[in-house]
Amino acid sequence: MIIEEMLKYVDKGADFYLRAMGDAEHMEIIDNDIYEVMRSCGNINNLSSIYNIRLEQLSDDELKKTVQDIKNLKIHTWWPLASSDRVIDIIHGKKPVYSIEDFEIYGVMQSEDLPKYPEVPGFVNIKQVKSLSDFDIWCDIDNNTEHGGTVVFYSQNHMHLIDSGKLTCFIGYVDNKPVATSGILNNKGIASLEFISTLPEYRKKGIAKALCQYALKYAFNIGANVISVRAIGDGRTLAKSLGFHFVETNETAV
């Protein structure tokens, strides 16, 4: 898979992730035909993001003004990775070179790339979230661990994502205690691995890795064609152990 195609899948995963967070009654999504804004209503959680940014059709002057207008908003923005040199130059000032040592790394896996993973360790029990009570547990772990206590997912308001199949969540149990999460967002066969979190005292034991491997196998088994991942911090080491191909430079992938 060429780099440009990989970046398009990563963009689709990031955009769908932000749209899923905004798909709840306490959130709103606004599309102004150039980009979408996902934001909370009534200061519920103060989340806001700009994504699905469409710039290629703009003239140079319009492009420069739009990019500056977005930057002036000073909120989290997912700038599209799969953009022309002209757009990248305006956004970043130069064409970026991606490295697997960067703050955030981007990977893609096709079904034929899926490694033969080992069996789930015997001390870990993995449960798929299907009920609201299970989703309560999943949300509590993910909100407190991955998002530092910020309530990104409200079980009641986001349960429809579970019911529709757009979001599939897994909980890892050790000694009957829920200690870790993973999830798959599935956008019509274009999926992304998300929501990887483990309680601090249970890290470095292979629990998150087992959950991710289980989630990836599940996603391909139900029809995903390609799965992307974005990882930061310690998640980079985990992501690199799963068999993804990562964007390393503008010419090669590993």
What are the domain boundaries of the chain?
3-97, 111-246
Residue 175: left if φ>0, alpha if ψ -120 to 50, beta else—which one? left
Residues 7-35 pLDDT 10s: 999 999 999 999 999 999 999 999 999 99
Q: How confident is the model over 206-226, as a mean pLDDT?
A: 97
Distance from the Cα of residue 25 to its chain's centroid: 21
- Cα separation, 145 vs 214, in Å, equals 20
| 172 phi and psi angles, rounded to 5 deg | -100, 125
Q: Which amino acid is at 176?
A: N
**Cβ neighbours of residue 241 under 8 Å, at least 6 residues apart?**
209
| 25 phi and psi angles, rounded to 5 deg | -65, -20
Residues 40-74 pLDDT 10s: 987 677 889 999 999 999 999 999 999 999 999 99
Per-residue DSSP letter, 253: B
- Cα separation, 171 vs 165, in Å, equals 16
Q: How confident is the model over 100-117, as a mean pLDDT?
A: 87
> Which CATH superfamily includes the segment(s) 111-246?
Gcn5-related N-acetyltransferase (GNAT) (3.40.630.30)
pLDDT > 60? residue 101: no
Buried b (16+ CB within 10 A) or exposed e, 205-234: bbbbbbbbbbbbebbbeeebebbbbbbeee
pLDDT > 90? residue 247: no
What is the average pLDDT score of the chain? Answer: 92
> pTM of the entire structure?
0.92
In DSSP terms, 40 is beta-bridged to 27
Please tell me the predicted confidence (pLDDT) of residue 115: 96
